[in-house]
Amino acid sequence: MITLNIEKTFGFISEKAINAYETQAKTAREALENGTGKGNDFLGWLHLPSSITTTFLADIEATAHILRENCEVVVIAGIGGSYLGARAVIEALSNSFTRLQEDKKNPAIVYAGHNIGEDYLYELTEYLKNKKFGVINISKSGTTTETALAFRLLKKQCEDQRGKEMAKKVIVAITDAKKGAARITADNEGYKSFIIPDNVGGRFSVLTPVGLLPIAVAGFDIEKLVAGATDMEEACGVNVPFARNPAAIYAAARNELYKNGRKIEILVNYNPKLHYVSEWWKQLYGESEGKENKGIFPAAVDFSTDLHSMGQWIQEGERTIFETVISVEKTNHTLSVPSDEANLDGLNFLAGKRVDEVNKMAELGTQIAHIDGGVPNIRIVIPALNEYNIGQILYFFEIGCGISGYILGVNPFDQPGVEAYKKNMFALLNKPGYEEESKAIQSKL
Ligand code: PA5
């Protein structure tokens, strides 16, 4: 199991103060369980892992098989909650160098629909030229501009390159059961489609087809991923006492830190494969808690890379931060430092040591330095990067977020703030129906 250690926050906040959250955390956890809290129509994720059936997984696997058999490349088109979970898992488990190439069994995975970069989309269409590619089009609303725009390009290119019949086979839609343009297109074209449940918001959807299909296409074991999440669901169950519920303790510690002026939580990893786990976590906590003019700002760094950039700020900048470190206990490969006769770099003292030993000492040294520099430290240890453990960490952060948001007093399941930019963008682009907004925004230019 993954483990949580909050002892290195005790010099900054007291253990007693954290334990004092027991009742609040219990109330929050029960509100999730009983559906009595804010946003209670979006709790479909709570018992999702344990309710996933083998028949459902088999359907996902069968579709993944069709895509794997017929594609060299699969484009995952989606944004925010319709993209980050899949990318987080795929990048955590993939080879860092070969994930852009198909191998004997699995297609290469690339992403689109998460930006409006013309150069990005141009380069993507160039990359896909003459390749047998497929598309997984993911959008709960089915109307998100970034994704719809990319899909329009991808659909045309796929049909032009592969013919309409094959395109039907290798384009899959994951969207609402009834509404939205993605649903209408899927039904009209006869694409295989999966449903995003109404009661699961985007950022909590990684264990629905939104995450599971891309992860399966990339060749990873979704059964193990779900098993890990299910075990964490049990470990954070409503009847688990506060002292043994890692998500409740995490939620309590971060709320107490926030109360004590720690406005920024930095998620730290020492394994570059976890970069997108941090991106997924940033969305989960940022969108869930950043409202009503409150909420911890979720930031992330990749160490030791960012020790050479953000390290200075973290060590000596304003003391409004705390760190949550994800530490991977065991690497999946071994590599030792070679000896060098000339020893011009002076590194022979490391000869024969594992690279990971050096990394672990960087981690320990940094932890001590940052605590000495006034940065509280929460530590989450993952035994190794595999599907089972990643499943655990995904669910741990989801339930931790639900409890934490309720302790903070916000609705962790809505995101009213993300509409503001869309309204302005549509007004500036003269979208039909936005005439009034267009006039209003012109006066601000
Ligand atoms: O968490 C969320 O709700 C958002 O990040 C959405 O997932 C994102 O905006 C994409 O929306 P949709 O799936 O409707 O295209």
Say if CB 327 and CB 381 are below 8 A apart: yes
Q: Give the pLDDT of residue 443.
A: 87
Half-sphere CA count of 355, side-chain side, radius 13 A: 11
Q: Give the pLDDT of residue 420.
A: 85
Res 419 pLDDT > 90: no
Q: Give the pLDDT of residue 142.
A: 87
Q: Give the pLDDT of residue 98.
A: 79
Tokens of 438: 């267009």
- % of the chain at pLDDT higher than 90: 91
Residues with CB under 6 A from ligand 1: 79-82, 139-141, 144, 147, 201-203, 287, 415
Give 269's strand partners.
302, 326
Torsion of CA 429, 435, 437, 440, to 10 degrees: 100
The alpha carbon of 105 and the centre of ligand 1 are apart by a number of angstroms equal to: 31
Confidence of residue 52 (pLDDT cuts 50, 70, 90): very high
Question: Of 204, 254, 240, which Cα lies nearest the Cα of 380?
Answer: 254
Confidence of residue 51 (pLDDT cuts 50, 70, 90): very high
The alpha carbon of 82 and the centre of ligand 1 are apart by a number of angstroms equal to: 6
Cβ neighbours for 295, distance < 8 A, ≥ 6 positions apart: 286, 289, 408, 410
Report how far residue 305's alpha carbon sits from residue 325's, in angstroms, rounded to the nearest whole number.
14
| Residue that is written with structure tokens 């430092």 in the block | 337
Report how far residue 118's alpha carbon sits from residue 96's, in angstroms, rounded to the nearest whole number.
26
Torsion of CA 396, 397, 399, 400, to 10 degrees: 110
pLDDT in tens, 174-218: 999 999 999 999 999 999 999 999 999 999 999 999 999 999 999
Confidence of residue 145 (pLDDT cuts 50, 70, 90): very high
Class of domain 48-220 (CATH, top level): alpha beta
Question: Of 157, 145, 19, 138, which Cα lies nearest the Cα of 84?
Answer: 138
Rounded to 5°, angle at Cα 194 from 189 and 200: 135
CA distances from 67 to 13, 30, 79, 211, 338 (A): 51, 41, 21, 15, 42
The alpha carbon of 353 and the centre of ligand 1 are apart by a number of angstroms equal to: 45
Q: Give the pLDDT of residue 90.
A: 97
pLDDT in tens, 80-125: 999 999 999 999 999 998 766 666 678 999 999 999 999 999 999 9
Residue nearest to atom 9 of ligand 1 (CA): 80
Confidence of residue 378 (pLDDT cuts 50, 70, 90): very high
Check if 387 is active-site: no
Q: Give the pLDDT of residue 102.
A: 62
| Residue that is written with structure tokens 């916000």 in the block | 410
Say if CB 7 and CB 376 are below 8 A apart: no
Report how far residue 228's alpha carbon sits from residue 389's, in angstroms, rounded to the nearest whole number.
6
Mean pLDDT of the chain: 96
Confidence of residue 314 (pLDDT cuts 50, 70, 90): very high
Nearest atom in ligand 1 to the alpha carbon of residue 210 is: 13
Res 331 pLDDT > 70: yes
Phi, psi dihedrals of residue 267, rounded to the nearest 5°:
-85, 125
Q: Give the pLDDT of residue 46.
A: 98
User: Where does the chain hold its CATH 3.40.50.10490 domain(s)?
Assistant: 3-37+226-413, 48-220
12-16, 70-74, 86-90, 97-101: range with lowest mean pLDDT: 97-101
Report how far residue 322's alpha carbon sits from residue 265's, in angstroms, rounded to the nearest whole number.
5
Fold type of domain 3-37+226-413: Rossmann fold (3.40.50)
Catalytic entry in 308, 341, 436, 444: 308
Catalytic entry in 316, 422, 435, 439: 422
Report how far residue 261's alpha carbon sits from residue 445's, in angstroms, rounded to the nearest whole number.
37
Nearest atom in ligand 1 to the alpha carbon of residue 182 is: 15
**Which regions of 331-429 does DSSP assign to beta strands (E)?**
377-384
Q: Give the pLDDT of residue 103.
A: 67
335: helix, coil or strand? Answer: coil
Check if 333 is active-site: no
Half-sphere CA count of 341, side-chain side, radius 13 A: 0
Residue nearest to atom 15 of ligand 1 (CA): 139
Check if 16 is active-site: no
Nearest atom in ligand 1 to the alpha carbon of residue 78 is: 15
Torsion of CA 21, 27, 30, 31, to 10 degrees: -120
CA distances from 155 to 32, 98, 160, 189 (A): 40, 26, 8, 11
Report how far residue 29's alpha carbon sits from residue 236's, in angstroms, rounded to the nearest whole number.
9
